[in-house]
Chains A and B, each alone.
Chain A
């Protein structure tokens, strides 16, 4: 058997984005040993790409804001199927978490009275997003990283976890390989926190990087944990569409927050054509009101471009389908028009949206201060994830915690922009805190050697298969085929027939994945990474397809052409995905958590 190196920690954190870093910092503050594992170098996780900001009711720009309004906005955005406890804690604790970042060295943009500046974003009633231009994620991850490296956390960079090991119903270790050398590693731990982010790589058009293969979701599922809300996957309305090689790269909602408008090929601001009832009272009915809202007029209502992402994405799809799209199959997003309103508009745009300016200039050869951008929906964020307890973030498996994008429930059927970065901080901290507590209360346990041997054999199969048979399929091709399948059959607009078809296709792809071959050596070998990631991508794709096929209504990000309306009964139901006794996937209906009266009252006050 291939050898492996063993490490032992009280708490092991898997993932070094915002959630994982914050969890590690908190766990190590409890005076215990902490290991942190990530697939890339430190500071390169997805969080670095976040642009627009961190949502927190600091009330620096509008003093009417408070945690209650933030809570109500989050629940409305999530169509009231959120884990209410998470939404509550999130709204209450986000301000403190943001201030803490400042204490650790973050430098946010400032208001005139020298406080942290906040900007408008879709679905947020007041300007709420603390930000640094449009590179907020970089500020956040760097602050956590630079603070974290002095906390005695043991970091394992470029190391991929491929299996969680259990003893009884408790998780006891994680097994993986160091990508740089291709050598196996065993991490024993009393508690494990998953903070692995999302799975956008299951789709062809996505804002997500190669890392987003749903590893945490799939590791937890294989370890017997529940997944929840898997049918809810966010398609961000504005990804780049041209040139082809950048298709999917994100264009921050901040563009619309700063006054950018959406137009179709006829020059019409089509977002005014369809404003949902839930948001009628809060939405401007004329362009001028929308404009002055973006410029900070407290009496004005927000422009329809700042409606929730699910709705904006569908309106864009409608325009494209009905033949009013832009030349490359998107619609126009125009910020240059504000020249009519502001004398120094080009400088203003460059200052507020520097990386967007840069991104379009460099990658599309387009000056956004002069011309409109072409944009279209892109797979962006996983609302669904590992089911956790709202207070402690423990999953349904003992000793296994989850935080950040890989955890489910907080955002319900649709996430509001900016609510992810705050989620990472609030629940990263909580996961670290409770994982440390669990580790202190529960002694070390053993590890099952046969499970390790089995994992090694499985992991080496793609390499050995090639050597033995001299054939086998390229893992890249299987990944492309999966991406096509998900893009076409389980996209923004869904039907029963298509999703049933997707489930079948995924089953066939699984068989092909069992024959994936990765010829070559084991050091820093992307072909091998891809072959192993396929298992995760396929598991998660199946979960999304099965849950989406099951929910016969439209809600938030889940839109069914064959059931275009919301259904009251389904509104009381969550879908839970779990590995059945015989190894097949089970989807079951469970009641949505009952919202306590005092929180219900807050929701009613803010209707």
Chain B
């Protein structure tokens, strides 16, 4: 029988502390299993979010030994159990209770991004035509499970708390998915530059490194969006061209 010691952060908005729990580790276990076991054995009131237990819903985000992870996709056999394992809530957002944080800001931010606005249907029957190669990129972005781990590691949100000025990597990916959607006709560049603060991102790529869906957030989403913004607002020739011909970007 192998046991491991977990240091789990217990507390609420007012504050809290790490508490030690020992539990048995069996083959194939993930960290979420250990947390559930502890919950059933000795901490009935330990708060943790989860749903799918298969990396599909993005509910169980937390920091394991300081690394932002999905608890359900972190196998115990990838962790050194000779030392105590720390589990604490993600840091970029206010703590609610134990491992649960108040992520409601994210849901509010999303509403401020202009919704999908398709061109008129291509065919008589009201349907559209799109080629697979033209939707590959957008499909990559749409893999996002809204775990907000990228938001958690982005220094603009985590360290500088710029939640009023910057929407964070998750919503830059979301904007990119809309903007690069072959059918979309909406213009979001001005919002990106002003209200959504794309300029705050200085391409550290921390977000890309933690994304459990392996979305190339920085290279595929943020940088192309930055280029679009730069072309529109900072390239005098293109600006003139657009004024003359009224093109979208």
Contacts and interface: CB of A to CB of B under 8 A. Distances in A.
Interface in B88-112: 96-98, 100, 102-104, 107, 110-111
B195 interface: no
Given A110-B132, A245-B28, A519-B44, A146 B52 contact: no
A249 B57 CA distance: 14
27 contacts: A40-B51, A41-B107, A45-B51, A46-B51, A48-B51, A48-B52, A49-B56, A49-B57, A105-B181, A105-B184, A107-B139, A110-B130, A138-B145, A149-B110, A209-B57, A210-B50, A210-B51, A245-B26, A245-B33, A246-B30, A362-B55, A364-B28, A474-B40, A476-B44, A524-B98, A526-B44, A527-B45
Interface in A7-52: 40-46, 48-49
B162 interface: no
A242 interface: yes
Contacts of A45: 51
B146 interface: yes
A314 interface: no
Main secondary structure of the interface of B (DSSP, over half): loop
Interface in B8-45: 12, 26-30, 33, 39-40, 44-45
Contact of A102 (B50, B57, B73, B127): B127
Contacts of A104: 116
B47 A244 contact: no
B46 interface: yes
Contact of A110 (B51, B115, B135): B135
B146 A150 contact: no
A526 B97 contact: no
A363 to B, nearest CB: 7
Given A41-B103, A107-B142, A243-B27, A209 B53 contact: yes
B79 to A, nearest CB: 14
Given A44-B59, A110-B130, A146 B110 contact: yes
Given A210-B51, A245-B26, A139 B142 contact: yes
A524 B142 contact: no
A180 B96 contact: yes
A249 B53 contact: yes
B47 A523 contact: yes
A149 B30 CA distance: 34
B203 interface: no
A321 interface: no
Contact of B131 (A110, A243, A362, A519): A110
Interface string B64-99: 000000000101000000000000000000001110
Given A44-B57, A107-B135, A150-B115, A524 B96 contact: yes
A109 interface: yes
Contacts of B128: 102
Contacts of B228: none
Q: How large is the interface on B (under 10, 10 to 19, 20 to 34, 35 or more residues)?
A: 35 or more
Given A135-B143, A358-B55, A243 B132 contact: no
Contacts of A146: 110, 115-116
Contacts of B39: 476, 526-527
Contacts, number: 163
Contacts of B75: 362-363, 365
B49 interface: yes
B236 interface: no
Given A102-B128, A246-B28, A521-B45, A211 B51 contact: yes
A44 B51 contact: yes
A243 B29 contact: yes
Given A109-B132, A363-B75, A44 B47 contact: no
A526 B46 contact: yes
Nearest to A46: B51
Interface in A132-173: 132-133, 135, 137-139, 142, 146-147, 149-150, 157
A139 to B, nearest CB: 6
Contacts of B33: 245
B126 interface: yes
A503 to B, nearest CB: 27
Contacts of B58: 44
B48 A103 contact: no
B75 to A, nearest CB: 7
B167 to A, nearest CB: 15
Contacts of B30: 245-246, 363
A132 B139 contact: yes
B192 interface: no
A139 B48 CA distance: 25
Interface string B128-152: 1111100100110011011000000
Contacts of A520: 44-45
Given A107-B181, A527-B45, A244 B51 contact: no
A99 interface: yes
Contact of B56 (A135, A474, A524): A135
Contacts of B230: none
B240 interface: no
B115 A147 contact: yes
A210 B52 CA distance: 8
A265 interface: no
B60 to A, nearest CB: 10
B94 to A, nearest CB: 12
Given A110-B131, A135-B143, A246-B28, 9 more contacts: A45-B51, A209-B50, A209-B53, A244-B28, A245-B33, A246-B53, A476-B39, A525-B47, A526-B45
B64 to A, nearest CB: 14
Contact of A245 (B29, B96, B100, B139): B29
Interface in A97-125: 99, 102-105, 107, 109-110, 113-116
A515 to B, nearest CB: 15
B114 to A, nearest CB: 9
Contacts of A495: none
A581 B77 CA distance: 55
Contacts of B12: 523
A455 interface: no
Which 3 residue pairs spanning A and B have beta carbons closest together? A243-B28, A520-B45, A105-B116
A176 to B, nearest CB: 18
Contacts of B110: 146, 149
Given A209-B53, A525-B47, A138 B59 contact: no
B199 interface: no
Nearest to B58: A44
Contacts of B138: 107
B224 interface: no
Given A243-B29, A245-B33, A49 B47 contact: no
A246 B40 CA distance: 18
Interface string A192-231: 0000000000000000011100000000000000000000
Given A105-B116, A107-B138, A523 B97 contact: yes
